[in-house]
Amino acid sequence: MNEKELFDFLDEEKALVLAEVKELASQDRMDESNILKAKSNIYDICKAVFGAATKKASDGNVKDTFLSTFGNITGQWQKSLEQAKAHDDSYKILIEEAKLSAVSEILEKTEDLF
């Protein structure tokens, strides 16, 4: 049941982000629109990781298995953000911040549901 709720949440959030992507493009803010597209991909990545965690978690603790794998992936993005900040790479800062904002929403929802 919780899994369905999480997946519904991911679908809704992705749809909202894609609507914003479209809105920005219609306002001729193409760079911001393209950067936000990176955020929309995170919801699908989360679904794939959660699906794999469900199969992998032998003791039934899907939440811990999911958080561990998802944490490994998103940890790389955090490192990449820090590196981008150190090098004043404004494009990469925006991409990584967009991805990590989706991660925060997902982690908050996971805590609520499981």
Partner 1 sequence: MTESQAIALFKCLADKSRIQILKSLIEEEMYVERLSERLSLTPATISFHLKKLVDVGAVKSRKEQYYTIYSINDDVFNVSILDILREESEEKDLHAERDENYRKKVIDSFFEYGKLKSIPTQRKKERIVLEEIAKAFEPDRSYTEREVNIIIADFHDDFCTLRRDMVAEKLLVRDKNQYKRWP
Q: Which residues bind partner 1 (CB under 8 A)?
A: 27-32, 83, 87, 89-91, 93-94, 97
Maximal CA-CA distance, the chain:
50
Residue 34 or 69: the one with the smaller Cβ distance to partner 1 is 34
**The Cα angle at residue 75 between residues 56 and 107, in degrees rounded to 5:** 65
Residue 3 or 89: the one with the smaller Cβ distance to partner 1 is 89
Residue 44 or 82: the one with the smaller Cβ distance to partner 1 is 82
Shortest Cβ 85–partner 1 spacing (Å) = 9
Distance CA 2, CA 93 (A): 33
The pair of structure tokens assigned to 35 is: 């950067």
